[in-house]
Structure 1
C-alpha cells in the first residue's frame, strides 16, 4: 500500500470516529462516501418566502443538511483532490458553484494534505458567511427568472420524492470549472432527480408527476414544498435536541433529560413528567379543570389536551375532557340543558324568546320554567339565571352510570365546582336524592329480599342456606325457596345440590 492509500484509509477511519452513522456513510468497496453537514445558524435566523406581495418569515434553528458525496482518486492527497458532488435543497445553483470553487481553493491551500475534514468544517461554520447570508435566507419564489448576466445561476427548488435539491458535481483536476459542469451534464453526472437547470433555461422547474409528489393533496408549489420541508426538519431536530438536553424541573428543581420532561407550548416552562403529571391528576380529580394551568407562579398558560392525555392516562383524561366541556358550557349564558330525564343535552338559547328546542330529542320547552313550551304567556320564572335556586334547575341523570359520574364529580370536585352543581341541580337533590338513589341501587344490586318478610339481606360468606335475621325464616339463597323442617334435603339433587357446604 503506497503512502496516498495509507493517508486515505487513515482519513476515512478518522471521519468514522468523529461523525455518527447519520452524518457519515462510507462506501466500503472503494475510497468513497457521503457526509451530511448541518450548517451552524446564528441566533434569530429566519427563512423567508415571498408569495405575491406577502413575505412570510419563519425563525429556524436547523436547516436541512448539505450533502457532500466524495470519491478519492488513487493519487489523493498528494497530487489530485477528491471528486465530489455537493447537494443542497435551499441554495441556488450559483451559490453551490461558489462553494464548490471554494472547496477547490481549500485543497490547493493544503499543499497536498488530506482535506475532507477541513471541507466539512468550512461548510458547517463558514459557508453562510462566505455566501453573504447572515440572519435571513430568502428562498426564490416560483417563476423567478434567471438573469442573463449570471449563466450559472439556478433559481429553481423543485420538489422531489426523496430530496429536494440542487447538485454541483466537481472534478477539481479540470482547468475550467464551467467546462467541467457542462461536461458533467452531457455525461449525465447531474441526474434528472436533482433537477439542476441548464443555464440557458428560464423560469422555475415544474414539479414531478403527482404520483411521485410526497404531498400531492396539498398542491404545493415547489417553493412552498421546500419551505414545508425546512419547517418539518427544523421541528424534528428541535425535538431531538430537547430530548438529549438536561433541564431543571420548575417544581422539584431536579435535573432531568428532556425526554423525561414536558415543555408547555405557550410559556415554554419546563417540568418533569412526574411533577406535572401529579399536578394534573390532582386538579382533574378535584374537578378543577380551569385550574389546570402552568404550575409556575403567576403563569396562566395551560398544557395542551394531548400533553394532559400522555400525563394522566385514558381514564382520567376522559373525566378531564367531560369536565372541560361541561365547564365551558357552564360559562355560556345562552346554554341551558334539556329537562327530559332521558336526555339532559345542552341547548343553545335564542335571546329573542324563551322557547328552546333540544336538537337531540326534539323536546320543545320553556327556558324559564323548564316545562313544555306554553307560548308567550306568563311563566313561573321570568328570567333564567345561573344563580342558585331553592329547587333543582335540572333533573338528575336517569342512568346508573350518569348518576355515578355526577356523584363522583360532586364529592371529589372543588368548592367552586360543588357550588356550581348545587346551583344547577339543587343542593337538597345532590345531598339527599342522589345519594339515596345510589344507595338504593347498591342495595338492589348486592342484596336479596327474604321470601317470607321481604327484608333485604346481604350474603357475606358461607353456603346458600340462609336464615333471615328479621323473621328467622330459613331459605335457599340461590332460588329463594323457603326451607322447612329437615329442609336441607333441598340441596340433595336438583340445581341447588352443589351450593351447600357442610
Structure 2
C-alpha cells in the first residue's frame, strides 16, 4: 500500500469522526475515493438577505431575516497521487451564489492547496467554506439576491407572454398540444423567441447583425444550482424553516410543564414565543380542551403567553379521531361567530347556509330546504313569525325591556302590530287575573268593585265567596261567613275599603250587631232583620 493511499485513508477516518453523515460522505470507485462535503455556512445573529427587481429602480429594497443558508456542496475525487503531488479534483455547487462568485471561491481553494501542497487539504477547505466564506465575499451582514430575483421575474413574465402569444393578431406560431388534455402550451422555440424579444426591447440601440462580444471564461468547476421558475426568495425561506426544524429536533430542551429534559424530536414549540414543551404534556393539554369543546384560541400553556397552537401543530400532536373532532368543533365555533351564516334546521342536515344580512329567507344548498332565518320554519313570506303560547310571557318581557335596536329586530321577525297587540293582551290578562275571580260554576270572570265578599255571578247567578271561591247556597249565602268552622269566619267585609267620610263608629257598630247574633236552630237572613233606632 502506497504512502498516499495511507494518508487518504487516515484523512477519511478523521473527517468521519469530525463531521456527521449529513456533512461528509464517501465511497470508493475505481480505487479512488469519491467524497461529498457539505459546508453549512455559519451566519451571524440578525443576518438577512435583500432583494428587488433591478428593472424597477423606484421599488424599495425588501429585507428578510434569515438564520440558515443552503450548504455549499463540494464534490471531490482524490487522485492516486494525492496529497503528495496532485490536488483533489472538485466541483463546487451552490443554490444561492452565482457562477461568477463561486469561481472566486474555487480560485481561493486552489490558493489554499498551493499554500499547503503535499498535505491533506480537505479539512482546510471545509473550514474555510464554513467559517470564512461570508468574509471572503464581503457579505458578512447581508446577502443580496437582486440579480437572481430579477432573472426569476423576467423568466416568469416571458413564460406568461409565451403562453399568450397565440392570441396575437396574425400569429402563426405552432403550439404543443397534449392529447390527454385540452391545455395548450407554447413550444420551446416560442419561449426562446419571447426571451430574445424581451432582450432586444431592453437594448433598443443594439443591432441584431452586430457581432456579440465573446463571453468571459468562467471556471467550469463552479456550478450555480438555481432552478429556473423557482422564486429564490421563497426557496431561501423554505430552506431556513426546514433547517430550523432539523436543528430543533437535534437539541435537548426542558419541558416547562413536567420539568424533564427531552430531545427536541419529542417536543413541540409554540410560535412566535418559542416556548418549548414535551409532546406528552401538550397532548394531554390539547385532549382536555378538545373534549370540552374549547378549541378556539388554544394558547401556549406558559403563564400570560398570547401565542396560539396552529391547526397543523394540533394535527401533528393528537390522534386522527381527536383532530377530526377538533376540526369539526373549530369550524362550528367559527361559523357561529359569523353573522351571515345560519344552520339548516333539519336535524338530519344541519348544513351551514350563507345568507344576506337583510334577507329573511335562506335556502340550504345540501337539502334544498327554504326556511325563515328567524323561526327556522318553512319560509312564510311577509307573514310574521308565529310564536308558541309558552313563549308569550318571555317574548313580551324581552320586547318591553329591549333597547331600540333589539326592538327593531323583534318587530322585523314578529311584526310590530302583532307585538303591540300581544303586549296589550298580556297586560289585560294580568289585570284580569289580579282584579277578578272566576265563577265556580261557569268560570265567568267577575270583577269586584265594592260591597261585601258574598258574590253573585252575572252570568248564571251562582253565589260564591270572593275570598276562597267556595260556592254558597242561594237561600243562606251568609252562613259561610258566620260559621266558626268556616275559614272565612267573620270575614264578610274583609278587605273592603271604607268610603270617604264614613263614620268609623258606624263601621264598627252595624256589623257587630248581626255578628253577635247567633242561633243554631233558626236561619238568619239580614235582609229580613230590621233594627229600629229611636233618635
Structure 1 pair 340/184, CA: closer, same or farther in 2 (3 Å)? Answer: closer
1:245–1:257 CA contact under 8 A, matched in 2: yes
2:20 is matched with which residue?
20
2:358 pairs with 1:352: yes
Structure 1 pair 81/343, CA: closer, same or farther in 2 (3 Å)? Answer: closer
SS in 1 for 2:38: strand
Shift of 1:111: 5.6
Structure 1 pair 377/269, CA: closer, same or farther in 2 (3 Å)? Answer: same
Distance 1:37 1:138 in 2: 20
2:123 is matched with which residue?
117
1:45 to 39, 44, 47: 47
2:297–2:309 CA contact under 8 A, matched in 1: no
Note the 1:71-470 alignment, pairs <5 A.
71-110=77-116, 112-139=118-145, 140-141=147-148, 194=223, 207=228, 220=229, 224=231, 226-290=232-296, 292-380=298-386
Deviation track 1:357-393 (CA, whole Å, cap 9, x = no partner) reads 3333333333333333222244347xxxxxx989xxx
Distance 1:301 1:312 in 2: 19
TM-score (norm 2): 0.53
Shift of 1:273: 0.9
SS in 2 for 1:44: coil
Structure 1 pair 24/380, CA: closer, same or farther in 2 (3 Å)? Answer: same
Distance 2:250 2:150 in 1: 41
Structure 1 pair 272/184, CA: closer, same or farther in 2 (3 Å)? Answer: closer
Structure 1 pair 50/106, CA: closer, same or farther in 2 (3 Å)? Answer: same
Distance 2:395 2:311 in 1: 34
1:6 is matched with which residue?
6
Structure 1 pair 96/317, CA: closer, same or farther in 2 (3 Å)? Answer: closer
2:103–2:219 CA contact under 8 A, matched in 1: no
2:103–2:218 CA contact under 8 A, matched in 1: no
Moved more, 246-255 or 128-137: 246-255
Moved more, 131-140 or 61-70: 61-70
Distance 2:64 2:317 in 1: 30
2:65 pairs with 1:66: no
Structure 1 pair 110/337, CA: closer, same or farther in 2 (3 Å)? Answer: closer
SS in 1 for 2:318: helix
Distance 2:10 2:301 in 1: 54
Shift of 1:261: 0.9
Structure 1 pair 291/61, CA: closer, same or farther in 2 (3 Å)? Answer: closer
2:97–2:224 CA contact under 8 A, matched in 1: no
SS in 1 for 2:52: strand
Shift of 1:107: 2.5
Shift of 1:283: 1.3
Deviation track 1:307-365 (CA, whole Å, cap 9, x = no partner) reads 22333312222222222222222223343333334433333343323233333333333
RMSD value, Cα: 3.2
Point out the structure with max Rg over C-alpha: 2
TM-score (norm 1): 0.56
Distance 1:90 1:2 in 2: 40
Structure 1 pair 378/43, CA: closer, same or farther in 2 (3 Å)? Answer: same
2:100–2:218 CA contact under 8 A, matched in 1: no
Distance 1:206 1:38 in 2: 20
Structure 1 pair 195/287, CA: closer, same or farther in 2 (3 Å)? Answer: closer
Structure 1 pair 20/227, CA: closer, same or farther in 2 (3 Å)? Answer: same
Distance 2:33 2:371 in 1: 84
Distance 2:265 2:364 in 1: 47
Distance 1:85 1:334 in 2: 61
Shift of 1:131: 0.6
SS in 2 for 1:122: helix
1:283–1:291 CA contact under 8 A, matched in 2: no
2:253–2:261 CA contact under 8 A, matched in 1: yes
